[in-house]
Each structure stands twice: as C-alpha cells, then as structure tokens.
C-alpha cells in the first residue's frame, strides 16, 4: 500500500496593520465639525438666493400648484405608491437634520497638569478612602493594626500589580521564585490576606446580605455616577450597551447572557462616550413598576437624563431600539442610530424574497418622515434604524473580500456610523479584562466592588489619553501602580530574591514561637494535598500558626 503525503494547508489571507479606533473616532469628530460649518454657510447662501428668486416665482405659482396636484394624483396611481405601508415609503428623499448646538472638543485641557494618581483621585478622593478605612476597621477584630488611607491606596496598587502579573495562587507572590519586590516591600502575606478578608466599601454586615451584593456597593455606585458626570463633558456620540461582570458564585442578581464573552455574572448597563463611562446602572432584576412603554424604554430615559437638547446621537443595539424610543428621544433633542430586531412593531414589511435576492453590498431602504430603516447585506443581513442623518447619504466599509483581502463595500451612512461609533462599551469591557483586578472570592459582592474601582481607573486612563495623548494602557497602569504603592510608607525591607539571606541574621529578636489560645492549620505543611496539621504555636510577629521545627524555619526563610 502506497503512502500518501498531504501538503500542509496554508492560509492565503493577508492581514493588515491593526486599526487605531481612537484616532478614527477623533478624525470622525473633526470631520463632522467641519461639515457642520460648511452646511451652515451653505444654508446661509441658499437662503439669500431664495429671497432673490421669490419675485420671479410669484407669477408661476398657480401653474406650479396645478402641476404638483397632477403629480400627486399620478403618484397615488403608480405602483411604487402601492408599496407604502404604515407611512413607510420606498421613495427616499433628503432630510434636513438639525446641527448640534455645541461644538464638542475631545481635548480636556483642564487636566493637562494632572498625574495618573491625581486623575484617579478625581473619582476616589482621600475622603472616600477614609470611609473605606473606617468600614474596614469596623469589620476587623479590635486587636488588629488599624488600616489607613495610604495603606488602602497601596492595597489598590497591589491589585494593579496582580492584574499585570497574574499568578494562580496568592501565596506565590511571596515565594522566592515569583515574589515582586515592589509588593513584598509594602505588604507581608499575612497583612495582605487580612486586608482581603476585612476590606469593605460600605458598612453592611455579611449576614444581612443574603447573597445580594447591592447593599455592599450601592452607596459607592451612586457616588461614582455623580463623579463620572461631573468631571467629563461627552462629545456628540453616546453609546448605551450592557456589559457583564464575570461571577459564577451564589447570588440573586447573577444573570446568564449567551451573547457575551463572559456569560455568567452581573449585568451592568453603561452609557459611554469615546471609551469613557459617563453613567452606569447595575441590573438588580425585573422592575416591579414600569411605564406603558416597558422597562427598557424607562432605562434609556434614565440614562440620558442630563444630556438632552444638544443634538447628540445615541447609538444602541437591537435590545434597546424601537420606534417609540426613537420618537421620545427626538422630543428631548437626541438623535438615534442603532440596529433593530426584525419583529419590532411599526417596522416596514419587506418580502422575504426581496431580502434573499440581495447580494453583498446591496441594501433596501424605507423612509418615514425623517426616520430611515435600512436592510443592508454583508455576510448576514444588518437592520439599522436611524434619524441622525439624511437617508440619501452613502458611505463605505472596509470588509474582507472573496480574494482574502480588504475591499471597500458601499453602504448607507447610517450603517457606517453604527459600525464605527457603537463600540465604546465593548472597548471599555476589553480594557477591563486585559488586566483584571481583584482575587476570586466566595462572597457575592467583591467582584462587583472591584469592577467599580477599575471603572475609576479606566476613566482616569481616558482623561490621560485626552490630555497627554497616551494610548498605552499598560504604561498608565504601571505608573499609577508605582504612585499608589509609594503612598504607603512601610517599614518592611524589600526581599532580595537574587541572593540568599545572610546566615548571621538571627530570627529570635522578633520572630519566636509562642502559645496561642486558638488552634488553626499550619500555614506551611497544611497546603499539601491530603495533608492537614493543626498547631497551637504562632510566631510572635507574623501571627501565623506554625509547627515547631522545620515548618517554623522554612516559613521564615
């Protein structure tokens, strides 16, 4: 039997350099500002020309009126007019969209002199950290060393370090092979574990929570919503979307969303602008009372409160989009653009045969006043509902072609704007999980509290981008980590991992065994699988239970 050899399959797809979406958004904002000025000048010139032509058109008024009546009767008899259903029509006409009343500037010059630590203190000021210290000391035993504001700042910095340099077990950060000197110089393993155990952001007893994290974080969430809005003025494009805080423990608020990368966890609705979280709302469950238009409609109205009457544009996905929402936002001076579910009420009826006949890059468009409904064919059918631009405006998108290379495919402008401007919440979610803060816990609220603290860091990073043009999140987190750790003036020596400790150093001065009133597992030998040793001996300084002899010496070496 002959042997056959198959050549390995190689892809012919050519990849391009990664796109910088931040630069594209900035260019798009500048382009829209220039177009606004051009449109204003054009309208002024047209208004002057119309006034000059008024006298010439007066003599022809009766003729034009009679001809327009005949055209209307012909349109009623034409086949295209028979396709109108519920005021939706195939005849597309230009729409004059109002220009924004403000010229939005992406730069934030008021924070030009702020360091990363000062930017973080806009959202986590020292008085907030004093509350954290008071709650933590109240939850801890009376005889434990009281924590302080500077120590909690360093505690957050230590979690930044662990997010950048993750290890599978907490004890490895104090092992000779992996211990980072910056961490071991400020925290002992015992002190860090005690802070993890008693750290609180609210004065709530664990026994009263009953697997509900909201009593532990509600006060902090309300304060952060106020601070996020106070220190940032969003540009014209707003995005509302949901994000998931990964959690698989026991909680009444835990949700399952199969469309998200992290399917189990807490659901949070976010209103964002250019990767900055302007406002958020934690989903606590089905609302007991809602308006006639539904809880989703009420949610959007709460989120956009304070951003009305500036001709901003709200981008959303099919979960939020509906015709009643679009009309309600228009009354508040906010335009809308977003994907829409095909079974929403009031959408035009398009035959399935017409949809199946579409080729890639083709679309079907319907108009109802200034509202446009677009059905555009890419790899799949995309449905977009909008009123923020004229339906006659077209653009293009860069997509993968059949020959494994990037090609430009035509599309309406509404589709292009949705693809480019509706991603802010997704980008924030990617930035969050790139350097995940917080350790795994059995309690239901720490995962949510660390998401709130990381949201402060991400917003500080965005302000730093606007003022200094920095686009490297890792560099920002490293600088912030060092600044936070330096706030804590620890008396601990930095561990020298490269060289072994001197043999002449005696441990008996501070570290010596003494009897304890309680019995607990030995921190050295009880970590071995299937092995557990209970000890009544503790170290005088470290306050950890150890076996006399080898375990005591091994722990201190």
Looking at residue 34, its pLDDT comes to: 62
CB 509 within 8 A of CB 524: no
Phi, psi of 193 (to 5 degrees): -65, -35
H helix or E strand, kind and range, residue 151: helix 149-164
Looking at residue 455, its pLDDT comes to: 97
335 three-state secondary structure: strand
Please check the confidence at residue 2 and state whether its pLDDT lies above 60: no
72-81, 335-344, 426-435, 525-534: least confident range: 72-81
CB 243 within 8 A of CB 272: no
168 plus 225 within the same structural domain: no
Looking at residue 515, its pLDDT comes to: 85
181 plus 284 within the same structural domain: no
Please check the confidence at residue 261 and state whether its pLDDT lies above 70: yes
Looking at residue 521, its pLDDT comes to: 86
Residue that finishes a domain, picked among 427, 462, 477: 427
369 plus 283 within the same structural domain: yes
Mean pLDDT of the 459-465 span = 93
Mean pLDDT of the 430-456 span = 93
Q: Would residue 87 be called left, alpha or beta, if left means φ above 0 and alpha means ψ between -120 and 50 degrees?
A: left
298 plus 326 within the same structural domain: yes
Residue that finishes a domain, picked among 485, 500, 523: 485
Looking at residue 105, its pLDDT comes to: 58
Please report, for residues 109, 129, 491, 524, the alpha-carbon distance to residue 184 in angstroms, rounded to integers and kept in the order given: 38, 22, 11, 18
Please check the confidence at residue 302 and state whether its pLDDT lies above 70: yes
pLDDT in tens, 274-294: 999 999 999 998 887 888 888
Q: Give the residue with greater pLDDT, 381 vs 510.
A: 381
Mean pLDDT of the 253-267 span = 92
Looking at residue 101, its pLDDT comes to: 65
- pLDDT bin (cut points 50, 70, 90) of residue 511 is confident
* pTM of the full structure: 0.73
CA neighbours closer than 13 Å in the CB half-sphere of residue 61: 7
241 plus 129 within the same structural domain: no
The number of folded domains in the chain is: 3
- pLDDT bin (cut points 50, 70, 90) of residue 71 is very low
CB 514 within 8 A of CB 538: yes
360 plus 392 within the same structural domain: yes
Please check whether residue 66 lies inside any domain of the structure. Answer: no
Neighbours of 331 (CB within 10 A): 8
pLDDT in tens, 147-205: 999 999 999 999 999 999 999 999 999 998 898 989 998 999 999 999 999 999 998 76
Residue 66 CA to chain centroid, in angstroms? 58
467 three-state secondary structure: helix
- pLDDT bin (cut points 50, 70, 90) of residue 84 is very low
269 three-state secondary structure: strand
Structural domain boundaries enclosing 137: 109-210+439-485
CA neighbours closer than 13 Å in the CB half-sphere of residue 289: 0
Please report, for residues 13, 343, 358, 455, 553, the alpha-carbon distance to residue 348 in angstroms, rounded to integers and kept in the order given: 39, 10, 17, 40, 78
Please check whether residue 56 lies inside any domain of the structure. Answer: no
374 plus 292 within the same structural domain: yes
534 three-state secondary structure: strand
CB 191 within 8 A of CB 542: no
pLDDT in tens, 473-510: 999 999 999 999 998 876 655 444 434 444 434 455 67
Mean pLDDT of the 258-268 span = 92
281 forms beta bridges with: 269
205 plus 305 within the same structural domain: no
Phi, psi of 410 (to 5 degrees): -70, 150
Please check whether residue 475 lies inside any domain of the structure. Answer: yes
Q: Are strands 312-316 and 237-246 parallel, antiparallel or unpaired?
A: parallel
- The Cα–Cα gap between 273 and 269 comes to 13
417 plus 448 within the same structural domain: no
Looking at residue 86, its pLDDT comes to: 65
What count of residues does the chain have? 557
Looking at residue 57, its pLDDT comes to: 43
Please check whether residue 11 lies inside any domain of the structure. Answer: no
Residue 23 CA to chain centroid, in angstroms? 18
Please check the confidence at residue 19 and state whether its pLDDT lies above 80: no
Please check whether residue 507 lies inside any domain of the structure. Answer: no
């Amino acid at each position: 039997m002959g042997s056959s050899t198959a050549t390995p399959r190689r892809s012919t797809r050519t990849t391009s350099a990664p796109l910088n979406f931040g630069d594209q958004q900035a260019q798009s904002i500048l382009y829209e500002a220039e177009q606004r000025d051009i449109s204003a000048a054009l309208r002024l010139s047209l208004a002057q020309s119309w006034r000059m032509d008024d006298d010439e058109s007066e003599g022809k008024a009766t003729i034009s009126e009679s001809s327009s009546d005949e055209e209307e009767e012909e349109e009623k008899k034409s086949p295209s007019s028979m396709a109108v259903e519920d005021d939706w029509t195939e005849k597309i006409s230009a729409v004059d969209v109002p220009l924004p009343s403000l010229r939005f500037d992406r730069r934030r010059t008021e924070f030009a002199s702020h360091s990363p630590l000062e930017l973080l203190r806009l959202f986590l000021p020292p008085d907030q950290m004093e509350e954290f210290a008071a709650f933590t000391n109240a939850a801890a035993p009376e005889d434990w060393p009281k924590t302080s504001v500077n120590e909690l700042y360093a505690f957050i910095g230590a979690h930044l370090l662990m997010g950048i340099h993750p290890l599978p077990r907490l004890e490895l950060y104090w092992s000779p092979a992996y211990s980072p000197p910056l961490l071991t110089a400020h925290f002992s393993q015992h002190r860090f574990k005690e802070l993890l155990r008693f750290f609180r952001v609210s004065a709530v007893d664990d026994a009263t929570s009953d697997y509900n994290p909201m009593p532990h974080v509600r006060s902090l969430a309300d304060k952060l919503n106020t601070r996020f809005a106070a220190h940032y003025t969003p540009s014209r494009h707003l995005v509302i979307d949901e994000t998931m805080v990964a959690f698989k423990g026991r909680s009444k608020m835990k949700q399952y969303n199969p469309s998200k990368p992290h399917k189990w966890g807490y659901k949070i609705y976010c209103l964002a602008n250019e990767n900055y979280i302007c406002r958020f709302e934690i989903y606590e469950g089905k609302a007991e009372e809602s308006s006639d238009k539904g809880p989703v409609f009420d949610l959007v109205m709460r989120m956009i409160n304070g951003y009305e009457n500036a001709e901003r544009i709200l981008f959303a996905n099919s979960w939020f989009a509906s015709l009643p929402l679009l009309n309600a936002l228009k009354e508040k001076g906010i335009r809308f653009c977003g994907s829409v579910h095909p079974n929403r009420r009031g959408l035009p009826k398009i035959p399935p045969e017409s949809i199946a006949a579409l080729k890639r890059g083709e679309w079907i468009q319907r108009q109802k006043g200034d509202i446009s409904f677009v059905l555009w064919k890419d790899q799949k059918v995309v449905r977009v509902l909008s009123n923020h631009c004229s339906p006659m405006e077209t653009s293009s998108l860069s997509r993968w072609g059949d020959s494994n290379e990037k090609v430009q495919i035509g599309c309406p402008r509404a589709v292009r704007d949705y693809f480019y401007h509706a991603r802010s919440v997704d980008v924030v979610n990617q930035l969050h999980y790139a350097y995940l803060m917080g350790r795994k816990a059995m309690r239901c609220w720490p995962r949510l509290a660390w998401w709130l603290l990381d949201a402060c860091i991400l917003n500080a990073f965005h302000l730093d981008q606007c003022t200094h043009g920095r686009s490297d999140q890792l560099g920002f987190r490293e600088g912030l980590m060092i600044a936070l750790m330096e706030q804590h003036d620890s008396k601990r020596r930095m561990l020298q991992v490269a060289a072994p400790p001197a043999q002449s150093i005696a441990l008996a001065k501070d570290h010596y065994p003494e009897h304890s009133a309680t019995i607990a597992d030995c921190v050295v030998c009880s970590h071995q699988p299937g092995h557990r040793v209970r000890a009544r001996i503790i170290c005088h300084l470290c306050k950890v239970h150890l076996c006399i002899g080898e375990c005591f010496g091994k722990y201190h070496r």
